[in-house]
Amino acid sequence: MLTSKQRAYLRSIAANLDTIIQVGKNGMNDNVVQTIDAALTAKELIKARVFEASPLTSREAAKILAERTAADIVQVIGTRFVLYRPAKEPIIVLPK
């Protein structure tokens, strides 16, 4: 569970990130979950987008993906959301 200070720190980092995952009209499938899981393993912090044609809202997609990948939801704004999962050897050092 992230503290508000940690969440704010991650949001500041995420502001400069490119959106690397997009959830489309097919919604959530195993391929999307696997792709996000691999991205979290490699980068710890990712930004994703949900298209308007998707049957899920960005908040619903973020919640489902966070549960399936054991990640924390950092932020949900409009059609975009940010997920964080620390690596075994953390790249991002969070404030206490």
First to last CA, the chain: 12
Q: Taking the CA of residue 11 as centre, how many other CA atoms within 13 Å lie in the half-sphere pointing to its CB?
A: 13
Mean confidence (pLDDT) of the chain: 93
What ranges do the domains of the chain cover?
A: 4-84
pLDDT at site 81 = 97
- Out of 3.30.110.60, 3.20.20.140, 3.30.70.360, 3.20.20.210, select the CATH number for domain 4-84: 3.30.110.60
Please name the residue that has the structure tokens 């959830």. 23
pTM: 0.93
| Separation of CA 92 from chain center | 15
What is residue 68's predicted lDDT score, i.e. its pLDDT? 95
Residue 65 CA to residue 25 CA, distance in Å, equals: 16
Q: Which amino acid is residue 86, in one-letter code?
A: P
Enter the tokens of residue 20: 């690397």
DSSP code, position 19: E
- pLDDT digits 0-9 by tens, 26-69: 888 889 899 999 999 999 999 999 999 899 999 999 999 999 99
